[in-house]
Amino acid sequence: MNEPVEYPPFRLGKSRFDQSMFYGRLRHFLDVIDPRTLFVSESRLHDCIKLLDQFKNGTLPPGVTNVQLWDAQKVKQAIIHPDTGEKIPMPFRMSGFVPFGTPVVVGLLLPNQTLASTIFWQWLNQSHNACVNYCNRNATRPAPMSRFFQGYLGAVSSAVTIAVGLNILIKRAERFSPTTRLLVQRFIPFPAVASANVCNVMLMRHTELSEGISVLDDKGNVVGTSKLAARHALMETALTRVVLPMPILLLPPIVIAILEKLPLLQKHPRLVLPVHSMVCLSAFGAALPVAISLFPQNSQIHVSELEPEISAATECKILTYNKGL
């Protein structure tokens, strides 16, 4: 039986898409955030895990296809943490990030925010992000809870401080008309969230700067541990965390401002919130996989940019390191 071309021979623990190309990464992350995996039953999950175990042990029953194996791996990876083997709570799975995160985005972009509502939505957003980060963390090397708590407090503090500070400045700006002031206020969540994301990265992973991260040769062998590579990794991750919220928090205010001028919404103001929610959901669902696909998970660096002892330990000119999420 001929199988679909997009289903190559199954490789346990690997992506079925080429991660060196943007299109491959995009298709991979569309699989990762697929919300349909939220509705997988316990029996279906058990069958998927059993099938993958059979493949690993070389005891697959006859007739099992690559399509079945890839689908089974997709289901297991969406629900089960790869290091702990435990189920990830539904709201904190990557497949639940859009459906459970959209109400928070809607709240962040609501017009005429009070001081209390600004603080609440920024706190809720950073709390949701912190839970997602923790539940999908790399658990191969145990990290103290204090580090996650430190990153969480730093993210909440920076987000709330910047959002509240900008809101106060805009309300005091006498040159802005009420319409302009309302439009500008809708863009405040982006700098607050972006700065909080960077703060979270730096607080959570600052020990990498002193301890270094592993760099690998073209065969996947660890050449050594580099602090300079760690610096590059943190800078790339921080840039990624700034890019991620851009389309999600900058596009909807523009679209919503245009839609609110339509006669339909002016005549029926009750439709504003549902339309607002649909715009945020569409932007979140479309932009998230594109944003997280922009940069490959594994970055390359020339050996001359690393420590002398790293250069002396290998003949490779280009080494690879995992920049993290």
Query: Using an 8 Å Cβ cutoff, are 17 and 24 in contact?
Result: yes
**Domain coordinates in residue numbering, the chain:** 22-80, 97-206+226-290
Look up residue 80 and give its DSSP letter. B
Alpha-carbon gap, residue 38 to 256, rounded angstroms: 29
Alpha-carbon gap, residue 144 to 302, rounded angstroms: 33
Query: Using an 8 Å Cβ cutoff, are 78 and 57 in contact?
Result: no
Buried b (16+ CB within 10 A) or exposed e, 178-194: eeeebbbbbebbbbbbb
Burial of residue 212, with CB atoms counted within 10 A of its CB: 0-12 exposed, 13-18 middle, 19 or more buried: buried
End-to-end Cα distance, the chain: 39
| Helix, strand, coil fractions of the chain, as percent rounded to 5 | 65, 5, 30
Predicted pLDDT at 179: 74
Predicted pLDDT at 68: 94
Alpha-carbon gap, residue 115 to 92, rounded angstroms: 27
Instruction: Chunk the chain into consecutive blocks of 10 residues (it has 325) and report each block's average pLDDT, rounded to whole numbers.
Output: 68 88 91 94 96 94 92 94 89 92 90 88 91 77 77 89 87 74 81 87 79 82 86 84 85 87 87 89 87 79 87 84 71
